[in-house]
Structures are given as structure tokens and as C-alpha cells.
Amino acid sequence: MSLRRLTLLGATGSIGASTLDVAARHSERFEITALAAHKNWQALRELCRRHRPRHVALLDERAAASLRQGLREDGIASEVLSGVEGVAAVAALPEVDTVLAAITGAAGLLPTLAAARSGKRVLLANKEALVMGGALFMEAVRSGGATLLPIDSEHNAIFQCLPAMQQYSAQQSGARAAGVRKIILTASGGPFRETPLAALREVTPEQACAHPVWKMGRKISIDSATMMNKGLEVIEAHWLFGMPAADIDVVIHPQSVIHSLVEYLDGSTLAQLGSPDMRTPIAQALAFPDRVDAGVTPLNFAALPPLTFAAPDHQRFPCLALAYQALEAGGCAALVLNAANEIAVEAFLNRRIAYPDIAAVCEAVLSATPAAAAPTTVEEAIAFDVATRRMAEKCVAMQAQRRGA
């Protein structure tokens, strides 16, 4: 059993907290070599006190300066890097073999690519790396000799349901080679699964963030409510497992016990079940191919409520339909949808637009953007992302003006 040295990108978020919890339970197996985050230097300072990483990085330059001063006061000798280059540097450290990528949004693309190009075991929780630049990222995995392991509970479930010999090769030859007919992603349906459609215009950010099952950050909680998160997961599943959109289904499963399913050509369907706790997929990927205790309460099947399933209502969840549309369109469409959604969600959280306006902004931007080829470089992806965000800001302003009129 060799020691795995870990860089954690997104250390101050919920995935970061769960990862550090699992790693701390098995300190003989996992060493926290580097931590990175966006700008919460106070939280990162506390993590440095606890875990004493050799390197830390913050995307925000001013926050990094504050952290540097704080660590000097604490007598902690961790090297502090800053900016996207600094975060990319800790993702590519020679002494690190495993990188857990959990920086949300477009900011995580370059560091995650750096990890892939450096041949790391990349534990992917940042779906934007595949949504923004799927072909670009998968080529980096192949050319860098990296190992890609999914952390999202749904994709990790699919990974676990594939035959062992096909788990890695699915990313090259497609899950079809393993006899897979369909991939079925489960979704809780979020807090508004049964809310009257007319009432959705009045829901608040607090209500949208109150997920009935999972404990998540604010942005991903909104994406779960709109099911944009599930739509982005469909796009991610396409790249991870080589399946076309037509063979990736979504089913509403409010109990969140079954995390996803794989349907085979012979009529078999395999499912991965577990408590709704992100420590399970994190532990599975960290220790793979071994298994370790994640501190998760096992399922008590005798006490489980009835497990129910339903097809998603695209009138209630238009963002899911937009994601399928973007995947079918190809090119830069998925990147456009992701950028527009990030702007729209931020506007909703800041109470500038109403909840249904999130989908309206995304649809308007997607419809107004001319077809373009998929980016072949990081610079192309970022430039397209920036241009899309400008367009989305204009759509938000229009929606906000209508709302105030």
C-alpha cells in the first residue's frame, strides 16, 4: 500500500470538506500535499493549521496576500501561490500523484487541464472541465497519460456499475464496448418538484437552496433545483463514457438512494445504491481499486421508504431540455449554456431576476449564439466563455428591467 499525495482544488467547499474528512480517516494512505481555493483565505488558513500542506494557492491575488501574512503569523511555512497560474502549478506538482478537482465553474478548467497534462490521477468533481471543453480535456487525459475518475455521485455510480476491465477503456472506446445499452442518471427533483408552476416566479434564493436531500453550495443547489445540474451531468456522461445523448436518460428519484443505473444489451440493469453522502464516491475514487471506510452510515433496507421514479417534466425543468439541445448541437453550444447559466444563477441569487428567468436567459443566449466549432485550446475556450458571459449579462439586464417595470 503506497502513500498517495493529494492536491485538493476547491478545498474550502463542501467537496473539499468531505475529501479532507475521508483522507484524515486514513492518514497512512493519503497525504494532503497542496490545497487550493478561490478567495476564502480565512478558511484556507484554518485548513493549513490543521493539515500543514507544503503548498497552498488562491485564485484571488489579494486573498493570497492576506493568507501569506496570516501563515507567517502562525509560523506555518506553506508556500503560497496565487492566480490561475498558481492554482495550475499546485495541480501539476511533481511530488503529487492525485488531484481532486472541485473548483466550481470556468475557473477550474485550466488547473484541471494542468493536472491531466501532468499525468495525474484526476478525481473530477468539476463538471465544467468537460462541459466547456470536452474534446480538449479528454485529449489532455489521453496525451498526458492521466487516469480519470469521476466524483459526481451519478458518474461515480456509473463507473462502479461498469465491468472492471471496461472502467478505464470506456473513456476511449465508449461504454457500448462493454455491452451498455443505456446510462440512466437519477435526479432528486430538487425542492420544487411538486410546486405549482405559477408559484415558481415567487420562489426565493433561500427556498431554492434548501435541497431536500443533499447538503451543497449555493450555486449547485440552484442548478439542482432547475435541473441544469442534471443537464450538465448528461453532457459530462457523454464525454466520460462515450455514449450519445439519445442513450443517456434522466429519471426523477426523490429518495436519492439509487445514484445511477447502467442498462445492458442482455436486459440486465445494474444500480449503485448508498446514503446521500459525497464521502462515498470520494472514498471510492481516492482508494480505487481498493475500498476504505468513508464514515458513511450504511443503508438500512428494512427502514427505507418506498423508492419511486418518474420521468422529468420538461415544462417544469426547461434547463434539462436545453442541455440535451446543446449536446446534440455540439461545437461550443455546451460552453455557451454553462456560461449563460453561471451568470443567470448569480443574478437570481442576487435577486436581480426571478427563478424562471434563469432558463429564459440560458435559452436566449443559446439561441442567439452562432454555431461555432468546439475550442481546441484553453485560450479559445476562455475567450468564448468571456464573450458569452457579456451576452448573458445583457439578457439579465433586460429580464431585470422587465421585472422592475
The answer to whether residue 405 scores a pLDDT higher than 50 is: no
Which long-range contacts does 301-305 make (Cβ < 8 Å, 24+ apart)? 304/255, 304/257, 305/255
Among 150, 167, 186, where does a domain finish? 150
Q: What is the pLDDT of residue 126?
A: 84
303: exposed, middle or buried (C-beta count within 10 Å: 0-12, 13-18, 19+)? Answer: exposed
Among 126, 150, 174, where does a domain finish? 150
The span from the CA of 47 to the CA of 275, in Å, is 27
Confidence of residue 404 (pLDDT cuts 50, 70, 90): low
CATH number at residue 22: 3.40.50.720
The answer as to whether 393 is a domain residue is yes
Upstream peptide bond of 306 is cis (omega within 30 degrees of 0):
no
Q: What is the pLDDT of residue 172?
A: 54
- DSSP class of 104: -
Pairing of strands 269-273, 258-264: antiparallel
Q: What is the pLDDT of residue 201?
A: 94
The span from the CA of 92 to the CA of 90, in Å, is 5
Among 150, 174, 206, where does a domain finish? 150
The answer as to whether 189 is a domain residue is no
The answer as to whether 79 is a domain residue is yes
The answer to whether residue 237 scores a pLDDT higher than 90 is: yes
Who's near 234: CB < 8 A, 6+ residues apart?
Answer: 185, 245, 248, 250, 320, 323, 324, 327
- In the chain, the number of structural domains is 2
The answer to whether residue 370 scores a pLDDT higher than 80 is: yes
145: exposed, middle or buried (C-beta count within 10 Å: 0-12, 13-18, 19+)? Answer: exposed
The answer to whether residue 187 scores a pLDDT higher than 90 is: yes
Do 283 and 98 contact (CB within 8 A), yes or no?
A: no
The answer as to whether 106 is a domain residue is yes
340: domain range? 330-405
The answer as to whether 390 is a domain residue is yes
Q: Report the sign of the C-alpha dihedral through residues 53, 58, 63, 65, in that order.
A: positive
Who's near 69: CB < 8 A, 6+ residues apart?
Answer: none
Of 102-111, 296-305, 323-332, 343-352, give the lowest mean pLDDT range: 102-111
The answer as to whether 157 is a domain residue is no
Q: What is the pLDDT of residues 3-53, one digit of tens each?
A: 999 999 999 998 999 999 999 999 999 999 999 999 999 999 999 999 999
Q: What is the pLDDT of residue 177?
A: 80
The answer as to whether 117 is a domain residue is yes
The answer as to whether 212 is a domain residue is no
CATH number at residue 382: 1.10.1740.10
CB atoms within 10 A of CB 200: 16
